[in-house]
């Protein structure tokens, strides 16, 4: 189940236990031959830390996100889609924005 994989990745990368709220988006990044499923979730107890495969980790206010340091365009898309949702309790999964092919254009 992909939700189980997402929870495992959060634990491995950020030492975080999460409660998944729903599938936020399905994004394709052809330049690295990936399809990425990104979920909306909350950190269960607010605790997180750098995992074995993570160099650094932090939480940011929206205006302080280091946009130029994001590794995948799909992360930016997901953040934008998350913000667009606001407090919605249901939504269809998002996908690549129109014209976006997985290469950074910002």
Domain CATH for 46: 3.90.79.10
40 pLDDT band (50/70/90 cuts)? very high
Q: Is residue 27 part of a domain?
A: yes
Q: Is residue 15 part of a domain?
A: yes
- CA separation for the pair 94, 44 (Å, rounded): 24
- CA separation for the pair 75, 72 (Å, rounded): 6
* 42 beta partners: 19
Record the pTM: 0.86
Q: Is residue 52 part of a domain?
A: yes
Q: What pLDDT score does 106 carry?
A: 44
**Total domains in the fold of the chain:** 1
CA dihedral over 53, 94, 23, 40, signed as positive or negative: positive
Is residue 9 within a helix (H) or strand (E), and if so which, with residue range? Answer: helix 2-14
What is the extent of the structural domain holding 46?
2-85
């Amino acid at each position: 189940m992909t939700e189980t994989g997402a929870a495992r990745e959060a634990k491995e990368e950020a030492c975080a236990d999460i409660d998944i709220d729903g599938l936020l988006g399905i994004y394709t990044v052809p330049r690295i031959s990936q399809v990425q499923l990104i979920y909306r979730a909350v950190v269960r107890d607010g605790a997180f830390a750098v995992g074995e495969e993570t160099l650094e980790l932090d939480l940011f206010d929206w205006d302080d996100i280091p946009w130029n340091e994001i590794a995948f365009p799909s992360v930016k898309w997901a953040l934008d889609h998350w913000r667009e949702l606001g407090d919605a309790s249901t939504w269809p999964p998002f996908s690549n924005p129109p014209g976006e092919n997985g290469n950074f254009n910002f």
